[in-house]
Structure 1
């Protein structure tokens, strides 16, 4: 194997995985490998669900949302997702946008003295073909996998999705990713492995990056432990209770995770997508509409209040200007009278 200092590459490292699968944790850990993520203002930040941050770039999220919306989908309503059914934008137009972003990130990576940059965004499970087509250098992909029952429990807590809908969403995300990765060499990491032995997982990742000709040095063990503290699995579930319709795909991904090295992705055309419950999907869409309408009404009310405040302030300013003008006139008259009396 080549020594790290002899290897130089600008291939982006891409983290794929279903939402709530640990992609944020592994992406933060990957920044320890001297990979460029971006500045704080480039990130979408953190929330109560991810206090350490989502480790997603805002510009990457915007591109993926643009793709999904043009296909009449969102991250949680993907039953009809098809890159061939995009409206309002073209694949070539998206590719041009990604190429521009790729060039910018390569320039920032070089200016920061690093050799590769890092991207993570769960929607890329769906949109990956357009990204891979756009990269100047083909990407190195790391896929993070989590027990789908734990994913479902996490989505229930965060989004109030029922288990059946969440499991179908997990299944379709993972299957989209595997179909999109056909023929590509991918390193699979399980969320369970990451929490149980983060240093061992880091060594596995380090070996993979070197095999992909990406310059990286093995991070300090203490820094790894600071990020992966072993208490990230808040929704522990037994895989034994996973419904049969999801087991085969889960078993395939777990077999990839069990390997010490990367896997070449086979043809998954024999797996079919599972249709999500339409009523649940429409309820999600409708609730988003109601929330948007509520926000719109609140915004209108706020704008109306600002206009009233502006009117009141304007009237106050006019009134004060009149008082100031009257005061100036009084001063002038008094000054004039005083001067006139002195000159008598």
Structure 2
């Protein structure tokens, strides 16, 4: 099987969406898009093109992924595709998310009972991580068998596999969970830009905007970042963080763009960012406000020293006699240790041990987020 044959197979995605063909024998390998690395190894099939034609932004909600994407799109001309999600009051500058990608991710998640609504269903009580339970191989197989709607998958990959839009940018925070379900349908292996933000800042932002319990926001932060890192271990990655972008957006996004090309082989963007574009896209008042949130969220008292990192106390809204307070503190400490390991780089090691989340068995009422 040649690479051209594999690409030809990928272009036939529209044929299986209404079919009921069962591929249990894996006889039609050209139409399977070689979904998993395990399957590739067993069959000895060719890998996808090694030179990425674009990249995927991975990061938890409320972690600055829209700001980063906007700088890369507006500043350098990376192509997010057509039919983007409209801006809202939460992101007045835009989300830079391709709607077919967003809709297909909802299909993937709903199909495995995780709900497209990113917060509802991803937290199934404290003892079970629904993010961890998502199975990309099941998603791939059900797409290939025509057991789920792939209309948006077809529409999205038609754009992403079009050489005329290279270099492309793909973004939806839920890609942290579903990214491996997309890889078989792309004609090249994408690069990844991973970014993160202080977990307490993320949880407090969710609490303020949506009324989400702090402990739930912290757990989602852990789940999303774990999924993002583990699901992209075999991809070329560029690492950043929200603080670095806010501190010096011009130089940080230039570094990211340079490394996307020199390290990962992503095609050069059509233009270079200017200070005027940065100043126009990042409203100084908005940027200052974001810094204030980060500073305000930084407590004073040190409650734990973790390596070279100091973990501070925070202002819990729970009373001392609330049984959930100790679990909130426990999940906070676990999240902050991971945050420290992200800063040091330890969390990117493939052998990194992620913390367990042993929490009470009772179910929590999770706030629904639109």
TM-score by length of 1: 0.69
Measure the CA separation in 2 of the matches of 1:47 and 1:187.
28
Find the structure with the greater CA-based Rg.
1
State the match for 1:129 in structure 2. 180
Is the CA contact 1:61–1:121 (under 8 Å) kept in the aligned structure 2? yes
> SS of the residue aligned with 1:210?
helix
Measure the CA separation in 2 of the matches of 1:133 and 1:276.
36
Is the CA contact 1:179–1:268 (under 8 Å) kept in the aligned structure 2? no
> SS of the residue aligned with 1:231?
helix
Is the CA contact 1:179–1:269 (under 8 Å) kept in the aligned structure 2? no
State the match for 2:135 in structure 1. 84
State the match for 1:215 in structure 2. 268
1:141 pairs with one of 192, 210, 218? 192
2:85 pairs with one of 44, 57, 82? 44
Query: 1:104 Cα shift?
Result: 2.6
Does structure 1 residue 118 correspond to structure 2 residue 201?
no
Measure the CA separation in 1 of the matches of 2:161 and 2:139.
30
Once the two structures are superposed, the pairs formed by residues 250-329 of structure 1 within 5 Å of their partners are 250-256=339-345, 265-268=348-351, 270-274=353-357, 281=364, 283-284=365-366, 288=368
> SS of the residue aligned with 2:288?
coil
Query: 1:84 Cα shift?
Result: 3.1
Is the CA contact 2:76–2:273 (under 8 Å) kept in the aligned structure 1? yes
Query: 1:275 Cα shift?
Result: 5.8
Query: 1:174 Cα shift?
Result: 0.5
Query: 1:186 Cα shift?
Result: 1.3
Does structure 1 residue 158 correspond to structure 2 residue 209?
yes
State the match for 1:330 in structure 2. none
5+ residue gaps, structure 1: 1-8, 257-262, 293-344
Query: 1:246 Cα shift?
Result: 1.7
State the match for 1:231 in structure 2. 288
Measure the CA separation in 1 of the matches of 2:113 and 2:335.
26
State the match for 1:241 in structure 2. 313
State the match for 2:96 in structure 1. 55
Cα 1:195–1:232, aligned 2, differ >3 Å: closer, same or farther? farther
Is the CA contact 1:152–1:167 (under 8 Å) kept in the aligned structure 2? yes
- Number of residue pairs aligned between Structure 1 and Structure 2: 267
5+ residue gaps, structure 2: 1-50, 123-128, 299-310, 315-331
Once the two structures are superposed, the pairs formed by residues 101-116 of structure 1 within 5 Å of their partners are 101-107=156-162, 110=164, 114-116=165-167
Is the CA contact 2:254–2:273 (under 8 Å) kept in the aligned structure 1? no
2:107 pairs with one of 47, 66, 70? 66
Query: 1:58 Cα shift?
Result: 1.3
Cα 1:232–1:143, aligned 2, differ >3 Å: closer, same or farther? farther
Is the CA contact 1:185–1:265 (under 8 Å) kept in the aligned structure 2? no
> SS of the residue aligned with 1:166?
helix
Cα 1:27–1:248, aligned 2, differ >3 Å: closer, same or farther? same
